[in-house]
Structure 1
Amino acid sequence: MPADNTVFEAKLDSASVFKKVIDAIKDLIGDTSWDCTNTGMSLQSMDSSHVALVNVLMRSEGFDSYKCSRNISMGISLNSMAKVLKCAGNEDSITISHDSNSNVVSFAFHNLEAERAAEFELKLMNIDTEHLGIPETEYDCIIKLPSLELKRICQDLTQFGDSVNIACAKSEVKFETTGDIGKGNIRLAARKLSKAEQEITIEMENPVSLIFAIKYLNFFTRATPLSDTVRLCMSNNHPLCIEYPLPSIGYIRYYLAPKLEDTEE
């Protein structure tokens, strides 16, 4: 029997989650390295302007089968990966694997009902990735809201300005922008509902008010199809953390540095 040189193999019964993950990050970071260990797949990468950081974790127990015999780093163009994943139907299973004596990562898609199988290979890239230590931060304010709500706020305020001020105080959070044609602000109050995914919760230790480039927030909301809810974690003078939980498998976290106000006191 030929030796099994597979050092990494991960399978999901539905390709849709992986497709949505790549769609949520590919236009922001381009080429990156997936770090694969026996505990799961992860990536950490900054955008080209070094303003935003993306951190993805997909835990091994969230896969339908998972094997990683030694730690590996797979340099991949996310745009190329997205092209491969477009060849998979949402109902297809997806198996991603890497062989110890090859310079490719393999993708296999299977649909038992259609009796269809497809296989693709992507050449691996040498990518120098700098892992930034993400400090554990005790956030002054954590807001949990429906992900569609955040997407709509960002889309609405984009019509008015390039920056948005997010201010959290007491039991409400305010999004405000000012531009050439005028200004807009949207207030959300904490609310309890029978459907947990429709609730808005605000945990506040101290009031927070920070300004962010709305262009990046719109990039982040591309993860909306992955999760019903989103968390905004804020502290003064710290990057904003926006977390989209991936049910049963992990999360996507986006970090965005605040903009300095134009006028200093």
Structure 2
Amino acid sequence: MLEAKLSEAGILKRLLDAIKELVSDANFECTEEGINLQAMDNSHVALVSVKLDAVGFKRYRCDRPMPLGVNLTSLTKVLKCAKDDDTCTLTAADDADVLSLTYEARNTDRIAEYEMKLMDIDTDTLGIPDTDYDARVTLPSSEFSRIVRDLSQLGESVRIEVSKDGVRFVSEGEAANGNILLRHTDTSGVNGKKGDSSKVKKEEDDGEDEAEANEEENEEEEDEDGEKKKKVKKEKVKKEAGEDVEMNGEEEEGDEEFKAESDGEEEQDQEESSTKKRKKAPSKSEKPAKKAKKGKSKDDDGDDAPDGVRIEMNQHVNLTFSLKYLVNFSKSASLSNVVQLMMSNDVPLLVSYDFNQGFIRYYLAPKIGDD
């Protein structure tokens, strides 16, 4: 039996919107590790690979591996009946020919149930070899969408060239040509050299350690001053207690003087403790700020948009692709803020989007010659 509950139905909606124009019918392969989909378009030029990890579901159960053959157009229509923030539960028996979808509203006052028929689809799972790509470009998915959309107005093909100057997108049409260059904007440097960024990180860590050491030193000095004052105070008390004064008036005066001195010292101690607190407060507020800043620079998870374009290049790459497919791929920008383009000469282009529940990857064969 399969039971998979997603916290938001909008994830499935955006996923299907990105692949429904490439693939009409596909098998969702369900295993205990998650749900996978792999399919090629009708012309066998592009391949799409989707993975939804089991840990990304609110609740997931799959007793044995089972394929769910669905028509993506029909599934899209059923998913349109759900709100984006509704929880979506997919259920199917082991040998069932029906997939059940249950939508629950956030306030649980609305529960909708739908069923769609499953199909028997004979497809061969293609083994995707691990490839060491010569160039990797990481950029905001919105920027990639804009580039391919703009260039698609001029021509049918785009030439993507990765060099030491950056990544260049060139489209040549009958009436107009387009040329867009994106330069490397990350401090790590071209060819994936991250010496500058690691140096900055090291300097930040050194500065942070030095600040902590100074703070501990100040605290120790303040503690030593406090202990000295307490010791002086005790000596005064012992000295005044050891003196025998016969006159009552003098005793009262001594008591009043001791009381005044002790009150003054207590006020001084309170002022010092408040000063100590004021000194500690900024250091506590500064540490999380530095850590947050470091965490923000990590954009490998794909949840946050990078500051700019990152280029890692081992050698010069120059390939031509169909813009029609790249425009379809760019629809996955609704799933992730970051896109990665991985290229090698005479090897299909890999366009990868990573999101919280898993990933979606597209493989596109390059154009050869004038075709």
Fold shared by both chains (TM-score > 0.5): yes
2:44 to 37, 42, 50: 50
Partner-residue secondary structure (3-state), 1:167: strand
Q: Give the whole-Å Cα distance in 1 for the aligned partners of 2:118 and 2:11.
A: 22
Deviation at 1:100, TM superposition (A): 2.2
The answer to whether residue 337 in structure 2 is matched with residue 228 in structure 1 is: yes
State the Cα deviation string for residues 195-242 of structure 1 (Å, max 9, x = none): 651321001011100000000000101111100000000000000000
Q: Using the alignment, how far apart are the partners of 2:70 and 2:326 within structure 1?
A: 24
User: Alignment partner for residue 250 of structure 1, among 358, 362, 367?
Assistant: 358
1:21 correspondence with 2:15: yes
Match of 1:182 in 2: 176
CA contact (8 A) 1:240 1:257 kept: yes
CA RMSD of aligned residues (A): 1.4
Please report how far the alpha carbon of residue 171 of structure 1 lies from its aligned counterpart in structure 2 after TM superposition: 4.7
2-structure distance, mates of 1:161, 1:101: 49
Unaligned runs of at least 5 residues, structure 1: 1-6
Structure 2: distance between partners of 1:192 and 1:211: 26
Q: 1:226 to 1:112 in 2, by over 3 A?
A: closer
Q: Greater CA deviation, 104-113 or 38-47?
A: 104-113
Of 231-240 and 103-112, deviating more is: 103-112
Give distance in 1, aligned partners of 2:360 and 2:142: 16
> Separation in 1 of the partners of 2:83 and 2:340?
30
1:170 shift after superposition: 1.6
User: Which protein is richer in helix relative to its size?
Assistant: 2
Which range moved further: 50-59 or 193-202? 193-202
Q: 1 or 2 for the larger relative contact order (CA 8 Å, sep ≥6)?
A: 2
Q: Whole-Å Cα distance in 1 between the matches of residues 82 and 91 of structure 2?
A: 16
What is the rounded CA distance, in whole Å, between the counterparts of 1:160 and 1:91 in structure 2?
Answer: 38
Of all paired residues, the percent bearing the same amino acid is 44
Listed as ranges, the matches of 1:123-142 within 5 Å are: 123-142=117-136
| TM-score normalised by L of structure 1 | 0.94
Query: Which of the pair has more CA radius of gyration?
Result: 2
Pairwise CA distance, 1:102: 2.1
> Does the CA contact (< 8 Å) of 1:95 and 1:107 recur in 2?
yes
Q: Which residue pairs with 1:240 in the alignment?
A: 349
Relative to the length of structure 2, the TM-score reads: 0.67
Equivalent pairs, count: 256
Q: Which runs of 5+ in 2 are unaligned?
A: 188-295, 300-304
Q: Tell whether the 8 Å contact from 1:171 to 1:202 is kept in structure 2 after alignment.
A: no
Decide whether the 8 Å contact of 2:85 with 2:106 is kept in 1: no
Q: Could you say what secondary structure the match of 1:220 adopts? A: helix
Q: CA deviation at 1:101?
A: 4.0
Q: Matches of 1:43 and 1:14 in 2, distance apart?
A: 19
Structure 1 counterpart of 2:325: 216
